[in-house]
Amino acid sequence: MNGQPVLRTRQLRRLATRLLVTGGVAWYLLTKVPLTGVGHALRVAAPGWIVAGFVLQFVVRIVNALRIRIIARAQGAPLSFRAILSALFTTALYGLVLPGSIGAGAATLVKYVGHGATLAAALASMVVNRVLDTLTVVSLGAFFWGLEHYFGTPVVTARIASITLVAAPVLLIGGHLLLFGRIRLLTQLAHLARRFAWEQKHAMLRGLIGVVEQCALAGNLPAPPALGVFSLSVMKELLATTIAYCFAHAVGVDLPFITIAWMQGAIALLILLPITISGLGVREGALVLVGRQYGVSAVNALTWGLVQFGAVLSIALIGGLIEARALWMSPAQPT
């Protein structure tokens, strides 16, 4: 009986903590960067670059929805492209107040189950897609870092960069082959889980084993769909970098694409930490610190981060409109 009040109290504490951290980081940044400078940078921002960045926000979600749909089909989950795309927008709304990517993931889970997927299939889809995202972000980020530091850097750095240039594609391609190639890593894990299941009677453990088996289904893709998943994963990350590139040039941050590419990857990993609201403060602080090494002023770096956060808010707003429409169209419950 007392479980729900305790859980709500913990959730409120976590939300309050994130609000405090977000507010503290934002306050610190604004004490170091004049607010008037940020306002001026926003006023003189190039609208064409901003519009391009906002349009690509939609494109990257379409690409992501296509990839998720391929994996859902392999699982036999009844998730349509429209349902997945709608979930990607609405979970952006909940991600503003729930604990980072963890909270957004919980909202995604609820949406998938609401559209007819089983709990195990929804969890497995989220796990596989998270693995793919992390694998792609790390691999491409490392590759572009190596590409930038291979020329015109100290010998030691150049050697590390050359190793990275080889290791990153191997990690990216090898990871996908492990998941979807002949090895069928997810299938092997499912076999081990089934053996373990015979000795276990705990319902939660059996539920986890069911998720592993659904992950194995997601990994049983023929070559053409597996190649499609690989291509869409790379395209999604390159589009995310292009969005950051558009917003950077909109506010006068004239960095090359390869530099923004590895910065985007590093910041994407930092934002996974559920310590602020949608990465607000973490993103901006990282851009200020890293941008300083390239001669980017703190004003422009902070403005760059705030524009990116504004894009997140725009997606969340669309998600809110979708949720409001769903509530409006849902039949009234009998009293």
Tens of pLDDT along 252-282?
999 999 999 999 999 888 877 666 666 667 7
Q: What is the pLDDT of residues 157-178, one digit of tens each?
A: 889 999 999 999 999 999 888 8
4, 10 contact by CB (below 8 A): no
Q: What is the DSSP string of 247-278?
A: HHHHTT----HHHHHHHHHHHHHHHTSTTSST
Question: What average pLDDT is seen over the chain?
Answer: 81
> Which residue do the tokens 């509530």 mark?
327
Task: Give Cα 135 to chain centroid, integer Å.
Answer: 12
Classify 109 in phi/psi space as left (phi over 0), alpha (psi -120 to 50) or beta: alpha
- Whole-model pTM: value is 0.84
**Using CA atoms, how far apart are residues 274 and 100, in angstroms rounded to an integer?**
4
Please write the tens of the pLDDT for every residue from 25-82: 667 676 777 778 888 888 999 999 999 999 999 999 999 999 999 988 887 778 889 8
Tokens of 301: 């770096």
Euclidean distance between CA atoms 265 and 168, whole angstroms? 13
**Sequence-ordered list of residues with C-beta below 8 angstroms from that of 279, at least 6 positions apart, any chain:** 100, 267, 270, 271, 309, 312
pLDDT at 108: 75
CB-based contact 104:154 (threshold 8 Å): no
| CA neighbor of 243 nearest in space, from 40, 61, 77, 95 | 61
Q: Under a CB-based contact definition with an 8 Å cutoff, are residues 260 and 5 in contact?
A: no
Q: What is the band of 331 on the pLDDT scale with cuts at 50, 70, 90?
A: low
Closest CA to 246 of 48, 62, 61, 64: 48
Q: Per DSSP, which regions of the chain are E strands? A: none
